[in-house]
Amino acid sequence: MALAYDSGEPMDGSSGLPPPRVAYDRTPIHRGSVFAVERVTFRDDAGRVIVRDVVRHPGAVTVIPVLDDGRLVMIRNWRVAIGAWLDEFCAGKLEPGEDPALAAARELEEETGFTAAHIRPVGVFFTSPGFADERMYVFEATGLTPVPQRLEVGEQIEVVTRSVADLQRMITRGELVDGKTLGAFTLWKHGASGAGATP
């Protein structure tokens, strides 16, 4: 259990604050097929010892597929973690070292049954930085052509298409409750271009 000093470089470039110099120790306490859990021990500026459990996740991609008529391809996805169907953009976790753009193209084909002529980075965000390091890479897919859908074992998915106006009405009504889809749609609607896509 050696102590080290975290260099802690800011990832988003938006803050002029210096990173705290925190002594920390990291102990693995769980490793599963999708994520691991690490117990992090550190001292705050006042020298107090803090212990936090952190989920280590390989990161994920989500794709906003835009049909030639402007409608968006979405999925209804059975989510085991919450026991509910959610309306979402298609998504999937990264394999270690995988190029997010290639993962985006793969998940688009597998889950929606469309292949894209163009995959463009839109941006990236942290899904739940209070306890997890998962990064969500967002892409836009255009030039869509149907291909066979290829669901993975355990996936239960229905493909639907929606206009942007429909999606906005769903947001107003509280019918869109997937955080990744809300975050991705916001970046896309604000014309984000993936400038910050590699934090």
Identity (one letter) of the amino acid at 37?
V
**Alpha carbons 56 and 78: distance in angstroms, whole number:** 23
**Alpha carbons 137 and 72: distance in angstroms, whole number:** 18
User: Using the rule CB under 8 A, is 27 a contact of a second copy?
Assistant: no
Task: Tell which one of 17, 47, 96, 148 touches a second copy (CB under 8 A).
Answer: 17
Task: Tell which one of 63, 91, 104, 119 touches a second copy (CB under 8 A).
Answer: 91
Applying CB under 8 A, which part among 48-56, 63-71, 94-102, 108-116 lies near a second copy?
48-56
User: Using the rule CB under 8 A, is 193 a contact of a second copy?
Assistant: yes
**Alpha carbons 88 and 94: distance in angstroms, whole number:** 18
Cβ distance 11 to 30 under 8 Å? no
- Candidates 95, 109, 140, 155; catalytic one: 155
User: Using the rule CB under 8 A, is 164 a contact of a second copy?
Assistant: no
Applying CB under 8 A, which part among 14-22, 95-103, 104-112, 141-149 lies near a second copy?
14-22
User: Using the rule CB under 8 A, is 96 a contact of a second copy?
Assistant: no
Cβ distance 143 to 116 under 8 Å? yes
Applying CB under 8 A, which part among 16-24, 65-73, 105-113, 142-150 lies near a second copy?
16-24
Tokens describing residue 188: 């896309």
**Alpha carbons 112 and 89: distance in angstroms, whole number:** 9
Q: Smallest gap, in angstroms, from Cβ of residue 145 to a second copy?
A: 26
3-state secondary structure (DSSP) of residue 108: helix
User: Using the rule CB under 8 A, is 171 a contact of a second copy?
Assistant: yes
Cβ distance 139 to 187 under 8 Å? no
Known catalytic membership, residue 134: no
Applying CB under 8 A, which part among 5-13, 65-73, 101-109, 141-149 lies near a second copy?
5-13
User: Using the rule CB under 8 A, is 29 a contact of a second copy?
Assistant: yes
Count of Cβ atoms closer than 10 Å to residue 114 Cβ: 20
Query: In angstroms, how far is CA 136 from the centroid of its own chain?
Result: 2
Q: Which of residues 141-160 bind a second copy (CB under 8 A)?
A: 153-154, 156, 158
Task: Tell which one of 96, 107, 136, 159 touches a second copy (CB under 8 A).
Answer: 136
Identity (one letter) of the amino acid at 118?
H
Give the active site residues.
155
